[in-house]
C-alpha cells in the first residue's frame, strides 16, 4: 500500500468588478428589493482597479509571491498599504476580468455564451500573447456577434448580461425555456465555476512533472451545483474540467460540504490513492460569483473600497508516494460527527485533538495549523472579526485546558502555530486549503515538519439539518521510505542494528 | 441577525409575550453581539428582516455575561463555554450588551 502525497498546489484569483454588481447576491438582492437603491447607484465608485488588486498584499500571498507571515508586520488596514505586486506568482496568478470573460466562453460546450465582435477581437489579441492558452483554445472564441444580437438575446430570450468596465460585452443564453436549473443566471454561475477551476488546474499542471495523461481522477469541490430540473446537482464540474484540461484518462465527480468541501475532497483523494484505486487525483474548486461583494454594504458604509472583488480558485494534486513530497497521514483524520455536539469546545476537540491523540501527539507538535483563512481586512469591518485568529485562540485555549500550554502562552501560540488570514471570502476557498502550497514547500525544505489542514462547513444553511460540519488531516514530511518498502519486509530497526554492529567491529579493528 | 432567526424571535415574542422571552446571544465579537442585541430590542438596524422597525425591547444577554453564567450549572458551563470564555473579549462584550440594554430594553430589572 502506498502513501498519498501532495505534489503541488495551484491558486488563482480573478478580478471581476462588474460581476459584483451583476452577479453578487448582495447587489442582486438589493436590486430586486429596492430598485432605486442609493447603494447600487453608487456601487461602482467603490470598485478597485486591477492594478490595486494586484498590489494588495493578501492577494500576493494567496498566489505565493509572499509568505503569509509577511502580513504580520504590515499595518492594517491592508487595503491602504500598496505593495509592489506581480500578476503571476509561485502558485498561480491574478487574472484580469476581460481575459476571464474569454475563459467563460472557452468553457462553454453548448454555444450559450455570446461575446461582441469588438470584445472578442480585443481579448483574442491579449490571449495570444499569453503562454497559458493554446491556439485551439483561442479558436473557441470564434469571431463574436454584433451587439444587436446580444441585446436581442437579453431582451427576448432571458439572457444574462456579461459586462466589462460597465459596458455590455456579451451574454449567456438560457439552456432551457422552463428549467430554472438551466436558466441564464445559473448557467453563468456554473460556467464561472468551470472556467476558474480550469485556470487553477492550468497553474497546478505547469508546476508538476506529472503528465496530463497520468491524471486518473478529478474531484471538484466548489459550492455550486450543475444539473437540470430532474437532478439539481446531477453533475459534474469535475469531468468537464478534466475534459478542458485534456486529461484523456480521467473521470471525476463533485463533492460538496459547504466550506468543508475541499478538505473532504482531499481526504477522499488521499483514500483513493492510498487504496491503490488511482495513482494521481486532482482536487479542484472554482470560484463563486454569488459571494462577490457579500460584505459590500459594510465596506461602503465605512468608506472602504469593495474588497470582495475577486473570484478564487485552487487545485491540488494528490499522488502515490514519490519519496519526496509531503505525506497525508491517513491515520490522523479528524471529523465532526453527528454525535459531537455544536459547542466550540466539542468542535475543536473533534477536529484538532482527537486526531492528534490517535498519533500520541500534543497540540504543539503541529508546526502550523491552516484553519479558516479569511482575510481580516475584509471580515473585520463587516463585524465578523479576525476569523483565523479566533480559530487559533480556540485551539490554544483547548491546549491550556489539556495542560499542554500555559494560559500566558496563548497569544504566542497564535503567532507561532498560526498565521494571518489572506484568502478571499469565497466560502470554500479560504477553508484550510490556502496554505497547502506553502506547506508543501516548507515541509520539503525542512523548515516545517507537520501541518494540519482544517475545513469547517455550515451545513445548516441548506436547511436539511442543524448540524455543523468539519474534517481535518495532517500533512507530514516524507520519510523517504515508501510504504511499499515497509510492506515488503524492510525492517529499519534491523538495518540500523546491522550498521551499528559493523561500525563497532570497524572501531575495534582500528584500536587493535 | 439572520432573517430566519429574526422571524423566530418575533414569533416567540408574539406567542409567549415579550415580558416572558429572554434572548441569549453567543456571538464571538462585541460588535456582532451588539448588533444582534439591538435587533431584538430596537429593531433590525439593517432594515432587511422581519424585525425592521419592530421595537420588541426584549431582555437580552450574552452567554458570557454573569446574569446568564450564574443561572446555569457551573460544570456544564465549563464544559460548553469554558474554552470560549478564555478566547473572547468578555469585558468588551459585557460593556456593549449593557449599553444596548440601557438604551433599548423595555424591562428594567
Q: What is the pLDDT of residue A383?
A: 83
Q: What is the mean pLDDT of chain A?
A: 94
Q: Do B80 and A345 touch (CB under 8 A)?
A: yes
Exposure b/e, A89-116, CB count within 10 A at least 16 = b: bbbbbbbbbbbbbbbbbbbbeeebbbbb
Count of Cβ atoms closer than 10 Å to residue A36 Cβ:
7
Interface test with B, best of A25, A296, A383, A386 (most B CBs within 10 A): A383
Q: Which residues of A touch B (CB under 8 A)?
A: 297, 343-346, 348, 383-385, 390, 393-394, 397-398, 400-401, 407, 410
Question: What does the alpha-carbon distance between residue A150 and residue A169 come to, in Å, rounded to a whole number?
Answer: 8
Q: Which of A12-26, A75-89, A123-137, A486-500 has the lowest mean pLDDT?
A: A486-500
Confidence of residue A483 (pLDDT cuts 50, 70, 90): low
Confidence of residue A234 (pLDDT cuts 50, 70, 90): very high
Q: What number is the average pLDDT over the span A501-508?
A: 77
Per CB-CB distance under 8 Å, the chain A contacts of B35 are 383
Per CB-CB distance under 8 Å, the chain B contacts of A388 are none
Confidence of residue A481 (pLDDT cuts 50, 70, 90): confident
Nearest chain B residue (CA) to A340: B80
Of B28, B80, B86, the CB nearest to A343: B80
Q: CB-based contacts of A180: which residues, under 8 Å, 6+ apart?
A: A186, A229
Residue A455, beta-bridge partner list? A471
Of B31, B82, B87, the CB nearest to A383: B31
Question: What does the alpha-carbon distance between residue A41 and residue A62 come to, in Å, rounded to a whole number?
Answer: 31
Of B31, B32, B83, the CB nearest to A398: B83
Per CB-CB distance under 8 Å, the chain A contacts of B2 are none
Question: What does the alpha-carbon distance between residue B27 and residue A10 come to, in Å, rounded to a whole number?
Answer: 35
pLDDT tens across A239-261, in order? 999 999 999 999 999 999 999 99
**By the 8 A CB rule, do A200 and A104 touch?**
no
Q: What percent of chain A has pLDDT over 90?
A: 89
Distance (Å) from the C-alpha of residue B74 to the closest C-alpha of chain A? 15
Reduced to 3 states, what is the DSSP secondary structure of residue A390? helix
Of B32, B82, B83, the CB nearest to A383: B32
**By the 8 A CB rule, do A46 and A293 touch?**
no
Per CB-CB distance under 8 Å, the chain A contacts of B82 are 345, 401
Q: Do A345 and B86 touch (CB under 8 A)?
A: no
Question: What does the alpha-carbon distance between residue A213 and residue A207 come to, in Å, rounded to a whole number?
Answer: 15
- Which domains, from first to last, does chain A contain? 4-480 (3.40.47)
Nearest chain B residue (CA) to A297: B46
Nearest chain A residue (CA) to B79: A345
Of B46, B80, B86, the CB nearest to A397: B86
Over chain B (109 residues), what is each successive 10-residue block's mean pLDDT? 92 96 93 94 91 96 96 93 91 96 90
Q: What number is the average pLDDT over the span A441-459?
A: 97
Backbone angles phi, psi at A336, to 5 degrees: -85, 115
Q: What is the pLDDT of residue A506?
A: 76
Q: Which of A189, A273, A282, A288 lies closest to A238 in space, CA to CA?
A: A282
Grid cell locating B87: 478566547
- Of the CA atoms within 13 Å of residue A113, those in its CB half-sphere come to 28
Q: What is the pLDDT of residue B48?
A: 83
Q: What is the pLDDT of residue B1?
A: 87
pLDDT of A471 > 70? The answer is yes
Q: What is the pLDDT of residue A482?
A: 62
Interface test with A, best of B2, B7, B86, B96 (most A CBs within 10 A): B86
Q: Do A345 and B81 touch (CB under 8 A)?
A: yes
pLDDT tens across A283-340, in order? 999 999 999 999 999 999 999 999 999 999 999 999 999 999 999 999 999 999 999 9
pTM of the predicted model as reported, rounded to 2 decimal places? 0.89
Q: Do A384 and B84 touch (CB under 8 A)?
A: no
pLDDT of A142 > 60? The answer is yes
Per CB-CB distance under 8 Å, the chain A contacts of B46 are 297
pLDDT of A487 > 60? The answer is no
Distance (Å) from the C-alpha of residue B32 to the closest C-alpha of chain A? 6
What dihedral do alpha carbons A138, A140, A142, A144 form, nearest 10°? Answer: -100
Confidence of residue A444 (pLDDT cuts 50, 70, 90): very high
Distance of CA A260 to the CA centre of its chain: 11
Q: What number is the average pLDDT over the span A205-210?
A: 97
pLDDT tens across A149-169, in order? 999 999 988 999 999 999 999
Enter the DSSP assignment of A353.
Answer: I
Q: What is the pLDDT of residue A503?
A: 76
Per CB-CB distance under 8 Å, the chain B contacts of A407 are 86
pLDDT tens across A407-427, in order? 999 999 999 999 999 999 999
pLDDT of A31 > 90? The answer is yes
Of A297, A385, A400, the CB nearest to B86: A400
Q: What is the pLDDT of residue A342?
A: 86
Grid cell locating B70: 450564574
Q: Do A397 and B83 touch (CB under 8 A)?
A: yes
Amino acid at each position: 500500500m502506498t502513501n498519498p502525497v501532495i505534489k503541488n498546489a495551484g491558486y488563482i484569483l480573478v478580478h471581476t468588478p462588474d460581476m459584483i454588481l451583476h452577479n453578487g447576491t448582495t447587489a442582486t438582492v438589493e436590486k430586486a428589493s429596492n430598485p432605486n437603491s442609493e447603494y447600487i447607484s453608487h456601487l461602482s465608485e467603490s470598485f478597485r482597479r486591477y492594478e490595486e488588486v494586484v498590489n494588495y498584499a493578501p492577494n500576493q500571498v494567496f498566489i505565493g509571491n509572499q509568505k503569509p507571515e509577511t502580513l504580520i508586520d504590515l499595518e492594517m488596514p491592508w487595503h491602504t498599504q500598496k505593495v509592489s505586486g506581480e500578476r503571476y506568482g509561485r502558485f498561480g496568478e491574478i487574472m484580469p476580468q476581460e481575459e476571464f470573460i474569454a475563459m467563460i466562453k472557452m468553457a462553454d460546450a453548448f454555444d450559450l455564451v455570446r461575446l461582441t465582435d469588438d470584445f472578442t477581437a480585443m481579448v483574442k489579441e491579449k490571449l495570444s500573447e499569453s503562454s497559458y492558452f493554446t491556439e485551439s483554445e483561442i479558436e473557441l472564441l470564434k469571431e463574436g456577434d454584433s451587439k444587436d444580437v446580444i441585446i436581442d438575446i437579453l431582451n427576448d430570450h432571458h439572457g444574462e448580461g456579461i459586462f466589462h468596465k460597465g459596458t455590455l460585452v456579451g451574454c449567456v443564453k438560457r439552456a432551457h425555456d422552463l428549467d430554472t436549473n438551466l436558466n441564464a443566471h445559473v448557467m453563468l454561475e456554473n460556467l464561472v465555476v468551470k472556467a476558474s477551476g480550469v485556470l487553477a488546474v492550468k497553474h497546478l499542471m505547469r508546476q508538476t512533472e506529472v503528465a496530463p495523461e497520468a491524471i486518473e481522477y478529478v474531484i471538484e469541490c466548489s459550492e455550486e451545483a450543475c444539473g437540470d430540473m430532474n437532478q439539481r446537482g446531477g453533475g459534474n464540474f469535475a469531468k468537464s474540467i478534466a475534459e478542458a484540461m485534456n486529461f484523456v484518462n480521467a473521470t471525476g465527480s463533485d463533492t460538496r460540504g459547504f466550506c468543508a468541501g475541499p478538505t473532504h475532497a482531499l481526504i477522499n483523494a488521499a483514500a483513493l490513492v492510498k487504496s491503490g484505486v488511482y495513482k494521481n487525483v486532482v482536487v479542484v474548486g472554482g470560484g463563486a460569483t454569488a459571494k462577490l461583494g457579500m460584505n459590500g454594504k459594510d465596506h461602503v458604509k465605512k468608506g472602504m473600497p469593495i474588497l470582495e472583488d475577486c473570484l478564487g480558485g485552487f487545485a491540488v494534486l494528490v499522488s502515490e508516494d514519490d519519496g519526496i513530497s509531503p505525506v497525508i497521514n491517513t491515520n490522523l483524520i479528524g471529523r465532526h460527527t453527528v454525535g459531537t455536539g455544536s459547542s466550540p469546545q466539542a468542535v475543536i476537540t473533534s477536529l484538532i485533538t482527537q486526531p492528534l491523540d490517535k498519533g500520541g501527539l500534543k497540540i504543539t507538535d503541529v508546526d502550523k495549523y491552516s484553519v479558516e483563512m479569511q482575510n481580516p481586512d475584509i471580515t473585520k469591518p463587516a463585524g465578523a472579526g479576525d476569523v483565523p485568529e479566533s480559530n487559533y485562540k480556540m485551539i490554544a485555549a483547548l491546549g491550556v485546558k489539556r495542560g499542554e500550554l500555559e494560559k500566558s502562552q496563548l497569544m504566542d501560540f497564535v503567532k507561532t502555530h498560526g498565521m494571518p488570514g489572506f484568502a478571499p471570502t469565497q466560502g470554500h476557498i479560504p477553508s484550510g486549503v490556502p496554505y497547502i502550497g506553502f506547506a508543501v514547500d516548507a515541509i520539503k525544505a525542512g523548515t516545517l515538519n507537520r501541518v494540519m489542514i482544517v475545513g469547517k462547513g455550515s451545513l445548516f444553511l441548506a436547511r436539511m439539518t442543524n448540524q455543523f460540519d468539519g474534517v481535518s488531516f495532517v500533512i507530514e514530511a516524507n520519510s523517504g521510505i515508501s510504504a511499499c518498502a515497509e510492506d515488503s519486509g524492510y525492517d529499519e530497526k534491523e538495518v540500523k542494528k546491522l550498521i551499528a554492529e559493523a561500525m563497532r567491529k570497524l572501531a575495534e579493528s582500528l584500536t587493535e | 441577525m439572520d432573517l430566519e432567526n429574526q422571524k423566530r424571535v418575533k414569533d416567540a415574542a408574539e406567542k409567549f409575550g415579550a415580558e416572558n422571552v429572554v434572548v441569549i446571544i453567543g456571538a464571538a465579537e462585541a460588535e456582532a453581539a451588539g448588533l444582534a442585541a439591538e435587533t431584538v430590542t430596537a429593531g433590525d438596524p439593517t432594515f432587511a428582516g422581519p424585525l425592521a422597525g419592530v421595537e420588541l425591547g426584549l431582555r437580552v444577554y450574552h452567554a458570557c455575561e454573569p446574569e446568564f453564567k450564574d443561572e446555569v450549572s457551573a460544570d456544564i458551563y465549563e464544559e460548553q463555554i469554558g474554552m470560549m470564555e478564555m478566547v473572547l473579549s468578555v469585558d468588551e462584550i459585557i460593556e456593549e450588551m449593557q449599553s444596548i440594554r440601557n438604551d433599548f430594553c423595555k424591562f428594567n430589572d
